[in-house]
Amino acid sequence: MLKVNNIDVFYGNIHALKEVSLEVNEGEIVTLIGANGAGKSTLLKTLSGLLKPKKGEVLYQTQQIGGKPAQAIVKVGISHVPEGRRVFSTMSVEENLELGAYLRTDREEIKKDIANVYGLFPILGERRKQPSGTLSGGEQQMLAMGRALMAKPKLLLLDEPSMGLAPLIVKQIFEIIKMVNEKGTTVLLVEQNANMALSIANRAYVIETGKIVLSGTAKELQESEQVKAAYLGGL
């Protein structure tokens, strides 16, 4: 579904991604793990059109999308849930969800999909008229995911969904990621909580200082001594 071939990405003079290659097959959950500043968020921003690769290609269903504007990438079926959630804090929960569907014109289907999001995240249904800035961190994460799902993505890019959340909420968020995947959405998950990410993923990549240094099935990486020492607390 997604194939990244040898991309280089720069922030000014900083070489943030160095010849990164990876692929995501339809129906998978693929996770990218790595320390802070390793290039994980940079990769997702490049895939969603917020950054342009200097070199290499990004193929989505064989179509070259590297460097295309973000709205064109949403249109082909890729949605990005950014790090830090980025909800529109003065707008209500429901208005945030409606914004997620801004490229769509099928009004009745949009209503149905909002109802589906409330089915997935019942707490959002209870808070539908509330300004989203008044929600807890976990509720804002649910809203950010719900908003991304309103674009009807085939591929969902999730950036650090567990960041700053209580363990119980993290467990809930990961169960919902699995549910979204089982309903047919492919997921590329960037996550510092390597234990949780590997527990739900099919395959995984490890990124260090802008380079992919390891890849394999999630089980292989869970059992790798290198990964255990660096990311799994030596477990």
Quick: pLDDT tens for 185-224: 999 999 888 888 999 999 999 999 999 999 999 999 988 8
| Contact in structure between 156 and 180 (CB atoms under 8 Å) | yes
Q: What's the Cα-to-Cα distance from 180 to each of 82, 107, 114, 204, 216, rounded to whole Å?
A: 17, 22, 15, 18, 23
Q: Is residue 107 part of a domain?
A: no
Q: Is residue 26 part of a domain?
A: yes
Q: Is residue 212 part of a domain?
A: yes
The pLDDT of residue 71 is above 60: yes
pLDDT at residue 84 in the model: 67
DSSP letters for 82-109 = -TT----TTSBHHHHHHHHTTT---HHH
- The 10s digit of each residue's pLDDT in 3-33 is 999 999 998 888 999 999 999 999 999 999 9
Determine how many CB atoms are found less than 10 A away from the CB of residue 195: 13
pLDDT at residue 104 in the model: 75
Query: How many structural domains are present in the chain?
Result: 1
Q: What share of the chain is helix, strand, coil (3-state, %, to 5)?
A: 40, 25, 35
pLDDT at residue 2 in the model: 95
pLDDT at residue 218 in the model: 93
Tokens standing for 152?
């009807």
Residue that wins the pLDDT comparison between 81 and 27 = 27
Q: Is residue 63 part of a domain?
A: yes
Rounded mean pLDDT, 113-121: 87
Q: Is residue 116 part of a domain?
A: no
Q: Is residue 207 part of a domain?
A: yes
How far apart, in whole angstroms, are the C-alpha atoms of residue 211 and residue 234? Answer: 22
Q: Is residue 136 part of a domain?
A: no
The CATH code of the domain that includes 11 is: 3.40.50.300
pLDDT at residue 233 in the model: 66
Q: Is residue 206 part of a domain?
A: yes
- The 10s digit of each residue's pLDDT in 149-176 is 888 899 999 998 888 888 888 888 898 8
Q: How confident is the model at residue 235 (pLDDT cuts 50, 70, 90)?
A: very low
Strand 155-159 versus strand 186-190 pairing type: parallel
Q: Which domain holds residue 26?
A: 2-88+156-231
In the chain, the N- to C-terminal Cα span, in Å, equals: 33
Mean pLDDT of the chain: 89
